[in-house]
Amino acid sequence: MKNLVLQLSFVLLATISIPLAAIAQSDAVILTVDGKVDGGPLDFTAAELEAIGSAQVATATPWHEGTPVFEGVPMDMLMAHVGAEGQEADVLALNGYRTTIPLSDFTTYPVLLALKQNGEYMSVRQKGPLFIIYPFDEYDQLQNDLYHARSAWQVRSITIR
């Protein structure tokens, strides 16, 4: 029931006029990480995610015009923070989309769990509040359907297996 209420809250945020900066100041949980992690399940607000660390990547994507700049917590830092000990991350989005990402991707490439695009927090309508972004422009081998499918938006939970 809690997840349904949270999903409805995100839909409401996406459809009404609320300053996106309010997302960062909210005590709302925007991510749950569970599975093979220390002390899980672990819930995170935007502020708690940002406190783990921050990085930026400017990259073209199949879903955006131009070369947006994404900012968020590096996935390798998030995995270290939660004590992930599995082989893969099962990602679930608010819209029901699921993808599985090998944890090795997070040490091979500087993958972000982005909260911001071009300096602004992303609403659900803008593929937020969390978007897994690969640095597509930096690595030719990432420019294919496999990595595009791993680059999930509207991320709600990550289960480490």
Task: Quote the CA–CA distance of 91 and 149 in Å, as a whole number.
Answer: 11
Mean pLDDT (the chain) is 88
**What CATH code would you report for 2-160?**
3.90.420.10
pLDDT value at position 18?
Answer: 40
Question: Residue holding tokens 């699921």?
Answer: 98
Q: What is the DSSP string of 22-87?
A: HHHH-----EEEEESSTT-SEEE-HHHHHHH--EEEE---TTSSS--EEEEEEHHHHHHHHT--SS
How do beta strands 69-74 and 112-117 pair? antiparallel
Of 7 and 61, more confident:
61
Reported as a single tens digit per residue, the pLDDT across 107-158 is: 999 999 999 999 999 999 999 999 999 999 999 999 999 999 999 999 999 9
Query: Looking at the predicted structure, is the pLDDT value of residue 19 above 60?
Result: no
pLDDT value at position 3?
Answer: 47
Res. 17 pLDDT band, cuts 50 70 90: very low
pLDDT value at position 15?
Answer: 36
Average pLDDT rounded to a whole number, residues 2-30: 51
**CB 145 within 8 Å of CB 67:** no
Reported as a single tens digit per residue, the pLDDT across 50-104 is: 999 999 999 999 999 999 999 999 999 999 999 999 999 999 999 999 999 999 9
Query: Looking at the predicted structure, is the pLDDT value of residue 24 above 60?
Result: no
